[in-house]
Amino acid sequence: MLVRSLLFNALLYPYMIVSMIVCSPAMLLPRGCVVGLAKFWCRTAMALHRVTTGVRHVYTGRENIPQGALLVASKHQSMWETIALMAQFGDAVFVLKRELMWIPLFGWWIRRLDMIPVDRGKGSAALAKMTEATRKTLAQGRQVLIFPEGTRREPGAEPAYKIGIARLYADLGVPCLPVALDSGLVWQRRRMVQRKGTIHVDFLEPIAPGLPMREFFHLLQDRIEARCDERLLEAGQEGVEGLPAAARARIALLKAQAKAD
């Protein structure tokens, strides 16, 4: 996988930069055209990933995706899902850290796509601003995608969900779609060389609006983490060599618990 991974990296980043430059006049087009162009780029980038690395992408549960306004709460393990998930929804807007808006070219594009920036250092004020921006986006029938843990986490690491996702759910009154994935088993954080295998994305049963905030929070975490654990056990059956340390430890714990039961 060393050569394949290096080839992918050597192609992806120039493709990204050249695309942003060459297509920059398109930012003057209506937003729908810009969204279509961005989704096309995401699809071609994922095709590049499959062809160069040999990694398979498997999506299950697409039938669980409701139409219209939707809050999407996804596990976040890798850069992979920041590209792959945009192409899976009609008009998805990501909640992302404000600093990304400052990157030349890239920041201009995500601003044109109406992504929702968050200043993570401003606490409740940032949450209030994010809630208002999310409300406006949902009112247009679009989907808002948020990573409830706020940052990438290793597969198998202790969950670190933030209560902000529950406050959004309580305030906005729309369904929430939990998304489990295992991209971090293949495209690991801060590693140039990827691991051979398959990336799974599971669109789980939506959570209808109206639950008490705390009940929703625990239900969301339980659904996502339970499915992620199942994927970890499946990966463990094929061997743990090359898996992140947290994933290996979690697999060992899950196997021990299964034996005890």
pLDDT means per 10 residues, the chain with 261 residues, are: 89 95 92 94 97 96 94 96 94 90 91 88 79 92 94 94 93 96 91 88 97 97 97 87 90 89 71
Question: What pLDDT sits at residue 44?
Answer: 97
Asked whether residue 251 is domain-assigned, the answer is: yes
Domain assignment present for residue 173? The answer is yes
State the pTM of this model. 0.92
Whether residue 95 lies inside any domain: the answer is yes
Question: What's residue 126's pLDDT?
Answer: 79
**pLDDT at 188 (0 to 100):** 87
Quick check: is 14 in a domain?
no
Does residue 27 belong to any structural domain of this protein?
no
Domain-embedded: residue 45: no
Classify residue 97: in a domain, yes or no: yes
Cα torsion for 224, 12, 115, 56, to the nearest 10°?
Answer: -30
Range of the domain at 149: 57-260
**CA 45/CA 15 separation, integer angstroms:** 8
pLDDT value at residue 156: 95
User: How many domains does the chain divide into?
Assistant: 1
Residue 47 lies in a domain: no
What is the pLDDT at residue 47?
Answer: 97
